[in-house]
Amino acid sequence: MQVVFDDPLLNPIRAKVEAGERLSYDDGVTLFRSNDILAIGYMANLVRERLHGDKTYFNVNRHINPTDVCVASCRLCAFGKRVRDPKAYTMSLEEVWFKAGEGWSEAVTEFHIDGGLHPELTLDWFCEMLRGLKQRFPQVHLKAFTMVEIAYLAKRGKISIRETLERLRDAGMDSLPGGGAEIFNERVRRIICDHKIDGNEWLETAKIAHQLGLNSNCTMLYGHLENDEDRADHLVRLRALQDETHGFVTFIPLAFHPDNTPLQHIPKTTGFTDIKNIAVARLMLDNIPHIKAYWVMMTPRIAQIALKFGADDLDGTIVEERIYHDAGATTQQGLRRGELLALIRKAGRDPIERDTLYRPVQRTENTFTVLV
């Protein structure tokens, strides 16, 4: 029996989704404008199950933020601090390597490393950090540095983006996280993060990384000053780059957390908006394999629901999260592997522990093997 949609404007989109056709920018705007969340979720789930069936991925990872010192002072951010701020911190290399080892009790497969734009830490310092991590934890994948950090290191070192990426890759960087994309629309970007690289520079940096054989993730920050058109445009621009490079592995929609930022007057996103962003992303990004419901940002409860609305990944154990918690997140700092398994199973899905590149991980207590 054919389910009848409440919003008739979604019927032409349904026909395209059922036929496996690409959706247009206008379809993206229509989806974001619609409040028929069940219809949007129905279509997103169709695509999700076509791609992954019941498989739902998670990983055992640890976040490391070597410094919160940042020259950018973005209005969207509560994490970055001025270099002379008494509350700012910068880890020594030994502290980074020690912190990495603290997550070892669950045998992490990935270190997720990002941080502020520090005016004094050099490319050589970061290369040494990576080499030290690889030496101590050779089997752990290093997913490190947003496109914004890469562009900043290149500018400071007066070398090209390509050379910066090559040097970091040669020192041990295996792939890049998806942060810093925010929203590509310049009108909004100028207000929320005016000192960051612009949208074209973010995309160009990702393109060079992909050309060098480095995979990355990609993100979109929503729930601030952007509108439906800006979000549709952001997704279409990511999709266009992916057509060229095929380098993006996962898309992560990120809900703006306003607390302790200069934009704290903006109301927090709702569960409805969070779910809609997951579902529309799944429908628009037909060439990006995975959509992540980042539980830290959405709460484990909403992230679990998202598994039926287009998401196929919950992210990881994380252990210690700073960026969202500085901006008012009330979720736990980390989840145990068993908690992730239970969330996925109770949603009626099949949990698959993965490494960063989605190869299944076989685990015995405190050791793991990546199945290639």
Residues at the contact surface with ligand V47, assessed by CB under 6 A: 76-79, 146, 177-180, 182, 217, 219, 221, 252, 254, 256-257, 261, 294, 315, 323, 327
Taking the complex as a whole, the smallest distance from the CB of residue 192 to ligand V47 amounts, in Å, to 9
Q: What are phi and psi of 326, to 5 degrees?
A: -65, -25
Integer Cα distance of 101 and 98 in angstroms:
5
Taking the complex as a whole, the smallest distance from the CB of residue 6 to ligand V47 amounts, in Å, to 31
Integer Cα distance of 47 and 310 in angstroms:
7
The tokens of 159 are what? 């070398």
Cross-strand pairs, 293 = none
Taking the complex as a whole, the smallest distance from the CB of residue 296 to ligand V47 amounts, in Å, to 7
* CA distance to 68, 78, 159, 186, 263, per residue, from 197 (Å): 18, 19, 16, 10, 20
| Residue closer to ligand V47, measured from CB, 217 or 304 | 217
| Residue closer to ligand V47, measured from CB, 39 or 197 | 197
Taking the complex as a whole, the smallest distance from the CB of residue 361 to ligand V47 amounts, in Å, to 16
H or E, element range at 343: helix 337-346
| Residue closer to ligand V47, measured from CB, 43 or 77 | 77
> Given the structure tokens 């974001």, which residue do they identify?
32
| Residue closer to ligand V47, measured from CB, 40 or 77 | 77
CA 34 to chain centre: 25
Taking the complex as a whole, the smallest distance from the CB of residue 1 to ligand V47 amounts, in Å, to 39
| Residue closer to ligand V47, measured from CB, 17 or 263 | 263
| Amino acid making up residue 312 | D
CA 40 to chain centre: 22
Q: What are phi and psi of 208, to 5 degrees?
A: -65, -40
Q: Which residue is nearest to ligand V47 (CB)?
A: 179
| Residue closer to ligand V47, measured from CB, 252 or 344 | 252
Nearest CA among 370, 372, 371 for reference residue 138: 370
Taking the complex as a whole, the smallest distance from the CB of residue 174 to ligand V47 amounts, in Å, to 13
| Residue closer to ligand V47, measured from CB, 13 or 258 | 258
Integer Cα distance of 124 and 230 in angstroms:
37
Neighbouring CB atoms inside 10 A of 355's CB total: 22
Taking the complex as a whole, the smallest distance from the CB of residue 216 to ligand V47 amounts, in Å, to 8
